[in-house]
Amino acid sequence: MEHEMRAEYAEGVLPHEDTPVKKWHMTRVGATIAMCGQPLAPAAMTQSAGKWGTAEAQPFCRTCGVMYLEEHPQDTE
């Protein structure tokens, strides 16, 4: 299954390229519901799942991280 990271923003803030990211979540590609169940804006910024675990993916949802690792245990090596 293909994944990507999608940004969560502060409540009531619309996504824009200059909007600070509150937290990064893992989703299936194109999905707007994070693996943890958090609904995310369809226009929210996305990043490649390959950036998971890097400074560019911080702060990251811990619950999404656990669920992602259950599907991709090879990413811990």
Place of tokens 């990251």: 60
Q: Are 34 and 40 spatial neighbours (Cβ–Cβ below 8 Å)?
A: yes
pLDDT (tens digit per residue) in 19-75: 899 999 999 999 999 999 999 999 999 999 999 889 999 999 999 999 998 887 666
Q: Give the span between the Cα atoms of 56 and 6, in whole angstroms.
A: 12
Q: 0.75 exceeded by the pTM?
A: yes
State which H helix or E strand residue 64 sits in: helix 62-71
Own/partner contacts of 18-22, CB < 8 Å, gap of 24 or more, are 21/45, 21/59, 22/59
* Per-residue pLDDT, 74: 66
* Per-residue pLDDT, 13: 82
| pLDDT confidence tier of residue 77, bands split at 50, 70 and 90 | low
